Chain A
Amino acid sequence: MVTKIWVFFILSGSLFYLFSGNVSALNEQILKGGTDGLKLLFSMMPLLIMWSGIMKIAEDSLLLKKFAKVLRPLLRILFPSLDSNHPALGYISSNIAANLLGLGSAATPFGLKAMQALQNDNPNKLEATEAMVTFLVLNTGGVTIIPTTVLALRISYGSTNPSAIIIPSIIATFSSNIAGLLYDYCKRRKKRYE
């Protein structure tokens, strides 16, 4: 699926450049793509390494497990296929917590660690497990209670009421996530009956 999107982006973009006769701009985009990608990677790298280190401490001290226990009722509904001691649950909980607080840069390392832990006992390494899909839906929905970046931007443009959008944002993000999770749930149920 990701392959199709990738091909679609590159082909439709390139064809549009070619038809509008803007070959030099396309050329520049292709040559610049690697630099931009690595720039993004390098900007994430210090935080990825730092958070992986901190989270290892939390894991070794069993704090992660405790945290997962707090969120257990929620996790049991969302991830019925994972048993309650699954190592991924600690990372999933931390990822959810970081997302809720609007700490996107901290949420990504937890999310990637959770994916690794889920992949460890995946019988078919090329195919996503049910838990992976649900976890992805949660992350693409990005449940945020405090949209930190948006608030910062609004303040910098001189808003008289920067936090006016917090409640509307929460309503929007929760309905969007519930829609995604419901679809995922129906898909899982349907598969079980087949």
Chain B
Amino acid sequence: MIIVREERNVMNSIANYLIPFFVIFIIIYAFAHKINVYDSFLKGAKEGIALVFDIAPTIVGMVLAINIFINSSVIQFVLSFLTPFFNKLSIPLMIIPMALIRPISGTATLAIMSNILATYGPDSFVGNLASILQGCTDTTIYVLALYFGSVGVVKTKHALTSGLIADFFGILMAFLISYIFFR
């Protein structure tokens, strides 16, 4: 228990100090260089508000589509056909939906992950695998829609394919490494 507490303290202090340090450093640096710090902040914040309005339609649109898709249990339906295949490979079944949803929704995968951690324990094989899966890649489709949507780019070239290839490799590596490190 003592070890756990120490880990928590170290992590907390890293996360807690990072952002304040960053902010304070920027302000002191600019102030020392005779920049009108407050004016700059207000100018930037105003741009930030414009940014919020720019991304509002994209976010509402994507959340609507992602909600309908994920809650309709299409994924579970498709999975029911693949179950025998995964059983043969002795891949833990509860991890598959998480791997499939990872490129689509961050909050949904986070929910599945905490479910796995609660059920099987964070130090179990599945718990470790789920943790790595969560950390190894970001939500490709959401990021793509948000970043391109915010500037109005429609033709995205090979961005989606590259992103999905990266996801595929990340998921593959997560499985491989978990088998090496935690089995």
Determine if chain A interacts with chain B.
yes
C-alpha gap A187/B161 in the complex (Å): 11
Write the B48-82 contact mask toward A (1 if CB under 8 angstroms, else 0): 11011011100111111111111111100100000
**A123 interfacial by beta-carbon distance below 8 Å:** no
For residue A108, which residues in chain B have a CB less than 8 angstroms away from its CB?
A: 146
**B19 interfacial by beta-carbon distance below 8 Å:** yes
For residue A75, which residues in chain B have a CB less than 8 angstroms away from its CB?
A: none
**B96 interfacial by beta-carbon distance below 8 Å:** no
Task: Determine the main DSSP class of A at the interface with B.
Answer: helix
Contact between A37 and B59, CB atoms less than 8 A apart = yes
Contact between B61 and A147, CB atoms less than 8 A apart = no
For residue A58, which residues in chain B have a CB less than 8 angstroms away from its CB?
A: 26, 29-30
Contact between B11 and A6, CB atoms less than 8 A apart = no
Write the B139-177 contact mask toward A (1 if CB under 8 angstroms, else 0): 111011111111111111111111101111111011001
C-alpha gap A132/B154 in the complex (Å): 12
Contact between B135 and A173, CB atoms less than 8 A apart = yes
- Please judge, given known A-B contacts A16-B73, A53-B44, A176-B170, whether A33 and B64 are in contact too, CB under 8 Å: yes
C-alpha gap A171/B178 in the complex (Å): 11
Binding site for B on A (CB under 8 A): 1-3, 5-6, 9-10, 12-14, 16-17, 20, 25-26, 29-30, 32-34, 36-38, 40-41, 44-45, 48-63, 101, 103-104, 106, 108-109, 111-113, 115-116, 118-119, 122, 125-128, 132-133, 135-137, 139-142, 144, 146-155, 157-165, 168-169, 171-173, 175-177, 179-181, 183-184, 187
